[in-house]
Amino acid sequence: MLVELGLVEQRYKAVCEVFDGATVTEVATRYGVTRQTVHTWLRHYATGGLAALADKSSRPDRCPHQMTAATEVRIVELRRSHPRWGPRRILTQLRTEGVTPLPGRSSVHRALIRHLLIEPSTRKRTRADYKRWERSRSMELWQMDIVGRFFLLDGTEVKVVTGVDDHSRFCVCARVVRRATAQPVCAALSHALATHGIPDQILTDNGKVFTRLASAQVQGLCSLTGSATTTASATSSLRPTRRRPPAKWSASTAPCVTISSPNTTGCTPPSMSSRPPSMPG
């Protein structure tokens, strides 16, 4: 008949077996513990009897840096006298009054929470607080930018005209140019449009080459393909993002070109199977 023994009973039985002549190694193997554990049970039983075989709390007997009751009372008094004072201001007042030991700012904050003088608030944003900045489908928005500080073997610096589809993260443009002026940038964009088709919108930063491009060259480029273009409001195309865009792509400065007509270049964009998956939002 199997009888389930309590934790203290098992330890007491192991101690008794050692006293009856069994070796510590045999007892440790039988109970599935180490030899050091059996020695610990023996030591506890010798000093405190059967009660000493029970598990003890790991909480320390004292905490030297714990806030004293008098300090906590003073914190509560200061907060009630000055409702607009926060933990930093209260800590400054305690330092002025010469309170020792001086608690930390977080300790003052927790004391105010314990006495319901402030409402605890979550510091980190939850996933529900964010909205996806990524567009819902491919060819809805391209992000164009100029990347510099690339050097050839002879030390010549070159620029790279880059373009990424916002939804699929597919690279639609990556052309090296010697100078990022309107003509080579327009040529790179023209090649991307002829290869992948025309997106609904093109998002750029506020660089001069793109503002000139948006006002003159792109108009002429899209007119050759039978598309009418307009400059849309940047705030209507940007939304709060979990993938935070660079500071130069702020919603107040980023120009956005809207291409109103469908793809008329006769070129089809790459299939989704050849594109990498979208970045996690």
Nearest C-alpha neighbor of 144 from the set 158, 164, 160, 159 = 164
Amino acid at 261: S
How far apart CA 74 and CA 70 sit, in angstroms, is: 6
pTM beyond 0.75: no
What is the reported pLDDT for 181?
Answer: 85
Q: Does domain 141-268 have CATH number 3.40.50?
A: no
What is the reported pLDDT for 40?
Answer: 92
How far apart CA 22 and CA 15 sit, in angstroms, is: 10
What is the reported pLDDT for 243?
Answer: 43
Q: Beginning with the edge strand found earlier in the chain, give each strand of the sheet holding 171-177 in spatial order.
A: 171-177, 157-165, 141-151, 201-203, 256-259, 229-232
Nearest C-alpha neighbor of 41 from the set 10, 70, 67 = 10
**Whether 237 contacts 202, CB under 8 Å:** no
* Residues contacting residue 35 through CB under 8 Å, at least 6 positions apart: 24, 25, 28
Concatenating the DSSP letter of every residue in 51-73 gives GGGSPPP-S-S--TTSPPHHHHH
Query: What are the respective helix, strand and coil percentages of the chain, to the nearest 5?
Result: 40, 15, 45
Positions in the chain whose pLDDT score sits under 70: 1-5, 122-123, 132, 211-281
Nearest C-alpha neighbor of 203 from the set 227, 224, 234, 182 = 234
What is the domain partition of the chain in residue ranges? 7-53, 69-114, 141-268
Cα 251 to chain center, whole Å? 21
What is the reported pLDDT for 164?
Answer: 94
**Whether 143 contacts 126, CB under 8 Å:** no
**Residue spans of alpha helices (H) in the chain:** 7-19, 24-31, 35-48, 69-81, 87-96, 105-114, 182-196, 208-212, 218-224
Amino acid at 270: P
Cα 195 to chain center, whole Å? 36
Residues in the chain: 281
Nearest C-alpha neighbor of 113 from the set 138, 78, 87 = 87
